[in-house]
Amino acid sequence: MMKLSTRSSYGLRAALTLALHHGEPPRPAAVLAEGNQIPRRYLEQILNRLRRAELVTASRGPGGGYGLARDPGRITVGDIVRAVEGDLEPVLCAFPELKAQGVCAGEKCFCQGFCQEMERTLTRILDGTTLADLRARALKCREDSTCTCQGMEILSGADSLDSAH
């Protein structure tokens, strides 16, 4: 199990917004912050980490802002979480010192058996889901008239996919 804080959530939301607007001119951090209800200064720090991990690109000056560094289908949620949280070392391990030493190698090992099972399960979901997957879900969610999500601010970004293009 990996360390997960609000940073992951914020980073994920910002990145998803960027994915919804992929191909458009760069978006300033202020716009991303307002649309997702995230403190601007805090989001800047997070975007900075994403930039250092080369997941997003930043351009300065008027008309500048952030954009995805590559295709949404080639950025996973795990990439974002890892870039934002830093170490991403497992925290719910019965024996972290064992794992740190690389001591537990056996398949039947207790540490492997339980703690790493959880970690692997998480990793599979995190690394198996791309921003493109999330975008597709968000758009589908928007189509479903019974889903109250569609009134939310963040999903309005999907409009540009229909109209702006």
Partner DNA sequence: GGGGATCTTGACAAGAACTGTCGGGATTTG
Partner DNA sequence: CAAATCCCGACAGTTCTTGTCAAGATCCCC
**What is the contact surface with a copy of itself in residues (CB under 8 A)?**
1, 3-6, 8-9, 12-13, 16, 37, 77, 81, 91-98, 103-106, 108-111, 113-114, 117-118, 121-122, 125-126, 129, 133-134, 137-138, 140-141, 144, 146-149, 152, 154-155
CB nearer to a copy of itself: pick between 5 and 59: 5
**Contacted by 39, from DNA, a copy of itself, none: CB < 5 to 8 Å by type:** DNA
The interface partner of residue 164, options being DNA, a copy of itself, none and the CB cut-off 5 to 8 Å by kind, is none
Residue 13 near which of DNA, a copy of itself, none (CB within 5-8 Å, type-dependent): a copy of itself
Burial of residue 138 (CB within 10 Å: 0-12, 13-18, 19+) is: buried
